[in-house]
Structure 1
């Protein structure tokens, strides 16, 4: 979800199972206040996690009607720590900052900054800076591509 939706790890660990919803063949996860359409494979993974949560504690979460965490920690009624997620991702060669930055650049190319602000929980100013950065990066890239010197050599 970091790579797809630029979700900060601290928000990822706060997600609860009640934020997941199926509507026919579509599945949604509410991030902040926005339901986000999930790719089918990610929706399946989330459904499996909800059906069989990984619990590493003998203490079970209280059955008081409150939603459980999507990624339970120890004890299970608390979320896993953000640092633990970061460590697990690094163990598999996945850097959180670069993944989130890439997702943010892709998002600002498709969505207005005000939507980015609400969806990803960043300030409006930050969303505008990201949008300007993405636009500047593409402008430089396109300018370089139209430069005759930058054209790749022809193959024979």
Structure 2
């Protein structure tokens, strides 16, 4: 997930089910690594905005997981990216690796729907991974 989308996450996206922690992204719960779950819990418990003027509203609406200044806006993506690196969480390299793995296992249109990206972008990733799925499409059409 790009950092620009991470900063848009709200606190209600995070939940625990027993020992497992999840982050709901586009209605899909994603199991979090324990180390990341602990960091997110700490962030929710003690957001960076501590002054009464800058605190998030208490009107029942979820606040941003990474509130900015003012808290009604998310923190900047480059700041969150630095925060992730500081805590040993990989950014773009891990995202690219995950994308290549997904695109080699699934057709580009499925990856497009799954990750919410344009089909042309998913197809470009498939070409980058040298996995066009042409053989799969030919075989599936031959069996119909």
Tell me if both proteins adopt one fold, taking TM over 0.5 as the criterion.
Answer: yes
Q: TM-score normalised to the size of structure 2?
A: 0.72
Distance 1:72 1:121, change over 3 A: same
Q: Which has the larger radius of gyration?
A: 1
Q: Which residue of structure 2 aligns with residue 133 of structure 1?
A: 128
Contact 1:32 1:119 in 2 (8 A): no
Residue 18 (structure 1) aligned with residue 12 (structure 2): yes
Q: Which residue of structure 2 aligns with residue 45 of structure 1?
A: 39
Partners in 2 of 1:38 and 1:108 — Cα distance? 21
Task: Report how many residues are paired.
Answer: 130
Q: TM-score normalised to the size of structure 1?
A: 0.67
Q: In structure 1, list runs of 5 or more residues that go unmatched.
A: 1-6, 137-156
Give 1:54 deviation, angstroms.
Answer: 1.2
Distance 1:41 1:83, change over 3 A: closer
Distance 1:114 1:79, change over 3 A: same
Partners in 1 of 2:93 and 2:34 — Cα distance? 24
- What secondary structure is seen at the aligned counterpart in 2 of 1:135? coil
1:9-37 per-position Cα deviation (integer Å, ceiling 9, x unaligned): 22111000100111111111111221111
Higher relative CO (CA 8 A, sep ≥ 6), structure 1 or 2? 1
Partners in 2 of 1:56 and 1:42 — Cα distance? 22
Give 1:52 deviation, angstroms.
Answer: 1.1
- What secondary structure is seen at the aligned counterpart in 1 of 2:73? coil
